[in-house]
Amino acid sequence: MALFIGTHENKIDRKGRVSLPADYRAELPSEDDRTIYIFPSLYTSALEACDRAQLALHAERINALDQFSQEEAYFSSQILAEARKLGIDGDGRIVLPGEFMERAQLDGKALFVGGGPKFHIWQPEAYAAHRHETQEALAGRTLPSLTRPSS
Amino acid sequence: MALFIGTHENKIDRKGRVSLPADYRAELPSEDDRTIYIFPSLYTSALEACDRAQLALHAERINALDQFSQEEAYFSSQILAEARKLGIDGDGRIVLPGEFMERAQLDGKALFVGGGPKFHIWQPEAYAAHRHETQEALAGRTLPSLTRPSS
DNA sequence: TTTTATCCCATGATATTCCATGAAATCCCA
DNA sequence: TGGGATTTCATGGAATATCATGGGATAAAA
């Protein structure tokens, strides 16, 4: 499984190109699968990105819901319908669709924030504020162990 | 497994042809199996489409219902009886049968909406309304982890 | 023949690839 | 351990390929 960690602030050029941090690139599966998947995060202004395996897991979770149910429709429209496949060019860059840049209020700079199997792309100041908020709200929490055996 | 994601709005020309988004084409199994399967979606005005493997899964699910039950008859007549096999031409286009265009109220534009192993074809405004509805109804939901091991 | 469906080619727009540059980090050897 | 050499990295611009789409040609059906 990919492990995206750390934060990196990179420039977005006028064509919407940004270098994917080298650390992150190194975590991606194989050389021939030079793609990532990205979609607007459900409850923040950030963008969420992951590799194909992780997106397939999302699709599987959604598919495990009842077929033709409203829940299925919701997650499908919010995640799968919004997701884009982004190619990584020979120089390690991706092109952010304009729509996504607006959604995340990105202009000129992108902050990559590692989150294990996924990572987020934030407008730098927005992340600072978000980080401060969750820090305030949840400081002191403990993390539950896994209760079921990992298959 | 095919992963159809993102949304693409394409034109339907006067012959009923529409380009299947290149992203979707790339997800289809092999070059010689240039076909998709399509049927009217059960509870919306959209059309639902998938590759052969996914349709086979539908058939399998229907077959797993009690034989000769009303349920079996229902899903069989709504899905299997309505489904059509559409070829993809050399330029990556499909031809939508007139009957299906009426059913989905398509005129001139088709919105392809990715949903993992399947995708939907919507009249653009109808999708916007549908998306808004499910958003209203289920906003704030979180996606459950898989409770059963992936087979 | 008339109609209908399929295939083939042309075109503009968009997206992707290729190459060049400077800065920063890393390596190497005395 | 220092300092120069080398590689990696992020970034910019230009060349190239891909894609959606329209029109016409060809083949099959009525």
Residue A137: inside a domain: no
Residue carrying the six token digits 């209203």: B136
Evaluate if residue B148 carries a pLDDT over 60.
no
Q: Is residue B12 part of a domain?
A: yes
Q: Do B137 and A70 touch (CB under 8 A)?
A: yes
Q: How many domains does one find in chain A?
A: 1
Q: Is A82 inside any structural domain?
A: yes
Helices (H), A9-146: 22-27, 52-63, 70-75, 98-103, 124-138
A90 touches strand C (CB under 7 A): yes
d(CA B14, CA A149): 57
B148 touches strand C (CB under 7 A): no
Residue B150 has pLDDT above 50, yes or no: no
Domain encompassing residue B55: 7-137
pLDDT digits 0-9 by tens, A57-87: 999 999 888 888 888 999 999 999 999 999 9
Confidence class for position A33, pLDDT limits 50, 70, 90? low
What are the tens digits of pLDDT across the range B38-86? 999 999 999 999 999 999 999 999 999 988 999 999 999 999 999 999 9
Is there a domain that residue B38 lies in?
yes
- What confidence tens digit (pLDDT) does each residue in A118-145 have? 999 999 999 999 999 999 898 889 988 8
Cα→Cα distances A68→A49, A99, B34, B47, B122, Å: 26, 28, 26, 13, 16
Model pLDDT, residue A149: 56
A112 located within any domain: yes
A interface mutation test: which of B1, B3, B4, B5 has the most A CBs within 10 A? B5
Min Cα separation A23/chain B (Å) = 26
What is the rounded CA–CA span in Å between residue B64 and residue B58?
Answer: 10
Chain B closest-CA separation from residue A9 CA (Å): 26
Q: What is the CATH number of the domain that holds A77?
A: 3.40.1550.20
B109-115 vs B7-11, strand pairing mode: antiparallel
B132–chain A Cβ distance below 8 A for any pair: no
